[in-house]
Amino acid sequence: MKQILTLIFALAAATAAEAKTVTVTVNRNRYQTVTGFGAACCDGAMCPFGTDTQPVRLLYGPTSKIGLNIMRMEISPNFKGDITAADIGWDTPYDWQGSVPSAKLVKQRGGIVFGTPWSPPGDYKTNGSASGGNTEKDDAQRGELREDCYEKFFPWLNTFLKYMKSKGVAVDAVSIQNEPDWWVNYSGCLYSPQQQLKLVKNYAHMLDREKYPGVRLISAEPLGFRPDYSDPLLKDPTAREQIDIIAGHLYGHPPLGNMKSAATLAAKYGKEVWMTEHSVTDYLKDRLPSWHEQLLFAEELNECMLAGCTGYIYWYMRAHWAFVSTGEAKYGAENKTKNKLLPRAFVMSHFSKHVTGSTRMGCTPTMTSGQEAPTEYSAYMHGDSVLVVMAIDTTATPYDLRIKLPVKVTAGTHVLSTGNETDKLCQESPIEISEATNEVMVSMPGRSLNTYIFTIERENTPVQEVAAQDPAAPKAYFDLNGRRMKKPFGVCIEQRADGSFRKVFIGK
């Protein structure tokens, strides 16, 4: 009887162990190339605005602990500060100096900077004010760009580019509008999808791309990444020629909804897709995010990648619910010292340090028992040398993770985060691989964020072997940071018509 009971317990243990195994199969399908990750440098939590560059020093650059490479700034419509007409060569000085120190530092560290208007100048608008016009007064008037001022809009953006260039900052992109679908009482401007289409189709050619080579135009950034704003731009051949990046925010709409829909059409036409603002758990009024809330943020990052996102830009870089502490002890001990990296920054680093510049691969999880895996995954290829698998477990259940790869790997590193405490963030350990293999078993602890980084066997040439998701896609070029190049030069990555990639050198 004792032997029978022992056998029963052994079988039960084996069954339980088997039920806690997830198999993730990485396939050869290629999707978007990821440009990078970033945050906003705007007034508010960044005060004293324009003088404190410590958040950028902590967060940006390949040698930083976090590795951000995209910075968003406001193109303010307000008259303020020490700007003179001579600075911009025009007759209306604006409050543009605040972001300059941080923008210069980001550029020095090889990053991307872009500007978003919260509103055009007030004298261009129907309500005569930079305000969106949503007040409690009975005569509240919706602030829209007057049609007779459409031809002034892109020349106004050119003056911003000129001013920033005069300060040593070559701006990489400018947007049409922050949240054109949200009627606000602060600086704002409303556009319908049809108004945006008319503005871009008839006037976007006035953005001076010859004088500011390389500058790209970003669509308006609707509150919930509404495809009805981006789809008309993409379906119209004239507007599509002018727009380089489709953008939006995630308020009220998770990534695998509106954003995925917008990204599907954008990918068809070879356009990048950037999530340009969201503040996860910014509702926290008296504490820092819990570890579970940090994992929810990781899931949002992961789902944005699965939706086809090429750039993810968080809201404020400094806030108690963001990446750098504000120095206010009321939010918790971790926040009482100003300009200290917070746990959320290290969660972001799993993606910014290891996904930037990579191409997303197909990835399918299955439970050994045949059930749906209660966890999230994604996979990425860096050239022909590194393959990355991301795994997130928000449950308390640990899993054994069997990873099946489309190439053989010879070595690996596990980057693990399991809690808000410093010693639980971004712990690195080697993955034991005795010989080249395309199947690896690793651990995935409960309530954890995991990055598995594999070195590909040199005989493999996965970049040449991988089939294209869309064989009809036009040829494109990317720099070594994964950013699309309009005029390729020097060492760059070529995407050929069949979807394969190779490193090339292009001379003058």
Per-residue pLDDT band for 45 (boundaries 50, 70, 90) equals: confident
**Strand, helix or coil at 67?**
coil
490-495 sheet: strands from edge to edge:
484-485, 476-478, 490-495, 501-506
Query: Phi and psi of 267, rounded to 5°?
Result: -65, -35
pLDDT above 90 as % of the chain: 73
CA 96 to chain centre: 24
Taking the CA atoms of 344, 345, 349 and 352 in sequence, report the sign of the dihedral they define. positive
- pLDDT tens digits for range 369-418: 666 778 999 999 999 999 999 999 999 999 999 999 999 999 999 999 99
* pLDDT beyond 50 at 6: no
Which strand (E) or helix (H) includes residue 352?
helix 343-352
For residues 441 and 376, the answer to whether their CB atoms sit within 8 Å is no
How high is the pLDDT of residue 504? 60
- pLDDT tens digits for range 75-130: 999 865 555 556 655 544 678 888 999 999 999 999 999 999 999 999 999 999 99
Which strand (E) or helix (H) includes residue 74?
strand 70-75
Distance between CA atoms of 354 and 36, rounded to whole angstroms?
Answer: 10
How high is the pLDDT of residue 140? 84
Is residue 327 exposed (0-12), middle (13-18) or buried (19+ Cβ within 10 Å)?
middle
- pLDDT tens digits for range 152-173: 999 999 999 999 999 999 999 9
Q: What is the mean pLDDT of residues 255-274?
A: 98
| CA end-to-end distance (rounded Å), the chain | 83
**Token duo for residue 442:** 């690793």
Those residues whose C-beta lies under 8 Å from the C-beta of residue 88, and which sit 6 or more positions away, are 94, 159, 160, 162, 163, 166
* pLDDT beyond 70 at 5: no
Q: Catalogue all structural domains in the chain, each as residue range(s) with its CATH number.
A: 18-29+359-456 (2.60.40.1180), 35-352 (3.20.20.80), 468-506 (no CATH)
R_g over Cα of the chain:
24
pLDDT mean across residues, the chain: 88
For residues 222 and 276, the answer to whether their CB atoms sit within 8 Å is no
**Strand, helix or coil at 119?**
coil
Q: What is the mean pLDDT of residues 319-343?
A: 94
* Alpha helical stretches, state H, 253-340: 260-268, 291-307
Largest alpha-carbon pair distance within the chain? 96
Distance between CA atoms of 155 and 207, rounded to whole angstroms?
Answer: 7
